[in-house]
């Protein structure tokens, strides 16, 4: 099992959330088995997203999906703040 954490800033959380909520099918097709969204305390436009996958290959393929990249752009993600990390269960 692989967990992917994606941290970034957004221009407008509400606008970002509408796009995020609209791509549920893209997540399912990409192998996401569980997801969660967090906002930084005191910095509501700093977002941490957790996605769980069955395999590392699925996680990396999902992050490389051009549709996901387009959705992130459409949602107002600050590309310069984007940080992606992958973790395996220990």
Give which of 36, 46, 52, 63 is closest to 7, Cα–Cα: 46
SS3 content of the chain, % helix, strand, coil (to 5): 40, 40, 20
Question: Taking the domains of the chain in order of start, what are their residue ranges?
Answer: 2-88
Q: What confidence tens digit (pLDDT) does each residue in 29-76 have?
A: 999 999 999 999 999 999 999 999 999 999 999 999 999 999 999 999
CATH number of 2-88: 3.30.70.100
The neighbouring-strand residues paired with 5 are 50, 85
d(CA 3, CA 54): 9
Q: What is the pTM of this model?
A: 0.91
């Amino acid at each position: 099992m692989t967990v992917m954490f994606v941290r970034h800033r957004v221009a407008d959380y509400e606008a970002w959330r509408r796009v995020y909520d609209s791509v549920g099918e893209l997540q399912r097709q990409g192998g996401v088995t569980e997801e969660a969204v967090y906002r930084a305390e005191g910095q509501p436009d700093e977002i941490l997203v957790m996605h769980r996958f069955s395999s590392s290959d699925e996680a990396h393929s999902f992050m490389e999906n051009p549709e996901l990249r387009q959705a992130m752009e459409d949602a107002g993600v600050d590309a310069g703040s984007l940080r992606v990390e992958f973790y395996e269960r220990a």
